[in-house]
Structure 1
Amino acid sequence: GERKPVVAIMQELATSAGYMVALGADHIVARQSTITGSVGVLMQSTDITELLGKLGIKPESVKSSPLKAQPNPFEPFSKDAREVTQLIISDIHTMFINLVAERRKMNKTKATNLSNGRIYSGRQAFANGLIDSLGGEEEARQWLVTAKGIKKDVPLKKIVIQRDRHLLREILGDIVGKTMFSSRLRLDGLISLWHPVFR
């Protein structure tokens, strides 16, 4: 089918996964004061076993192996599980770095140096080659006109996605991690953020 040009416009915040999404665009525009970058990977879990113990609650589980369902909030994070999880985090971080290098057309050393988890202002991101230009919708439209031959008067159609959020369920999900409480579970993982098919 027809391939349409894509421009990503960063507003106040586009860090980590937000920056990863922007990498899928043909051109990235950010405000001078946009906060972006934070190229890295983070996995968090909460150990609530001590709290449950004070409440007289003792979780029980039957697993096929010690590493099954680790980490989870209902048992301490074991040394072996931590090592396995760190390997996964490091592997995904490497994928993220490679993605930055490929999409931003920079060498691996520079991409690695920029991908240490720190944040950048829009000005810093532009200076380091993480974005293409500074500005907003006007600059994005101008790029489409000059680089892709799109008519300047093409009407803008805004699509607003409404999120159905059940407050109590999401609070519980935020506390104990991605569990059965969280409606975000079905979109969890990097597959929802980047897939080669959509390059």
Structure 2
Amino acid sequence: MHWNIPNILTWLRILMIPLFVGVFYCPEGDLPEHMRNLYATLIFALAAATDWLDGYLARALNQTSSFGAFLDPVADKLMVAAALIVLVEFDRVGAVVALIIIGREIAISALREWMAGLGKRQSVAVAFLGKIKTASQMVAILFLLYYQPVGAIDVKSIGSLLMYVAAFLTLLSMAYYLKAAWPQIREK
């Protein structure tokens, strides 16, 4: 493994996961609920920013590596899965929605690895639909972590709506990737 700035940022994102989860389990007397929500939201937002930043820096500094290409999506999926599990635990997201999103991430990751083994990884490269799914999912998670109204904005309702949109787009993008891989699946 190469120790470069992008890989260090990715490792930091992974190390933020226990901190992120731990915030929610601080005793109420030590950290009131609205502060737990705020801190968890800020940690998740920082993790999302490092996700963008490590990719940008890897390209800008010409520090891309096969290890970084492997670790970055793993860090993303771990952070999102941790957030969804916490949101299910605190009854802010339904378990079925969380299972759809986490299950799709695992299935598509496995599909991409299998396709890479066949030398056809490009046929299941990230599509625009996947990017829209990720954006709606990240905003939904941020809103559901914060959970309290911001002025007249009902963060909870908007976050819930966006999470359902993300779940729908999750299924749609999974169908897209499976369709792209179908000729190789049928052949094998």
When normalised by structure 1's length, the TM-score is 0.30
Higher helix share: 2
Higher RCO (CA-CA < 8 Å; seq separation 6+):
1
Higher strand share: 1
When normalised by structure 2's length, the TM-score is 0.31
